[in-house]
Amino acid sequence: MRTRVSIFPVFAFCIVATDVSADCAQGMIPFSSCEIVGRSTSLNICHDDFTVSYRYGTRGKVPELYLSEPIATVDYRPWDGDALIGSITFRNGAYAYEVVSGFNSEFSDEGLSHFGWVTVSYNGEELSKLECVQTSVESVYGSDVYDLKVAAGLRWDGEETGWVAVSGSN
């Protein structure tokens, strides 16, 4: 169950990460990244106009796991203006990697407090939950992936229904 907190939606569109692109392939746009607690690994989500990619491994090296899915089919759950948390799930056979990121709405001297994790499951059963080092979580909030899904003929119909095809689109 998610706790919903109302803040002015404009805050989310003002948060832009600066170093997220460090491990995006050339031509890819950063979406989210973090270092994993207790490991010397990182997680990076990047996209272009057609695909979203998941990279997990040691920064600067060949990733231990690289997954890529079309924008139109990737399971992306945007925050809706009330919730301060969003997710994107990548599938690899019976495995699923749900990357969650968000921020606390309370401002401090350091700004917003980000958080995140990746939940790894097999056939729907959770195998592990890897927490992000809080100070390393970087997310680009805005409408890139959302707008690309809309351009692919989809519309967000809320958390219960998810993405649905727009009438008259392919």
b/e sequence 23-55, b meaning 16+ C-beta within 10 Å:
bbeeebbbbbbbbbeeeebbbbbbbeeebbbbb
**From CA 20, how far away is CA 39, in angstroms rounded?**
19
Write out the chain's pLDDT in tens, 170 residues: 333 333 333 333 333 333 444 578 889 998 889 999 999 999 999 999 999 999 999 988 899 999 999 999 999 998 765 557 789 999 999 999 999 888 776 655 566 677 889 999 999 999 999 999 988 888 766 568 889 999 999 999 988 889 999 986 55
CATH pick for 10-155 out of 2.40.128, 3.40.50, 2.60.40, 1.10.10:
2.40.128
Structure token pair of residue 87: 């997710």
**pLDDT at 115 (0 to 100):** 84
b/e sequence 129-141, b meaning 16+ C-beta within 10 Å:
ebebeeebbbbbb
Where are the domains positioned within the chain?
Answer: 10-155
pTM reported for the whole predicted model: 0.78
**From CA 59, how far away is CA 139, in angstroms rounded?**
17
**pLDDT at 81 (0 to 100):** 59
**From CA 137, how far away is CA 103, in angstroms rounded?**
9
- Residue 152 is classified by DSSP as T
- Whether residue 63 contacts residue 28, with contact meaning beta carbons closer than 8 Å, is answered with no
Q: Could you tell me if residue 144 is left (phi over 0), alpha (psi between -120 and 50 degrees) or otherwise beta?
A: alpha
- Whether residue 74 contacts residue 86, with contact meaning beta carbons closer than 8 Å, is answered with no
Among candidates 120, 119, 118, which has minimal Cα distance to 132? 118
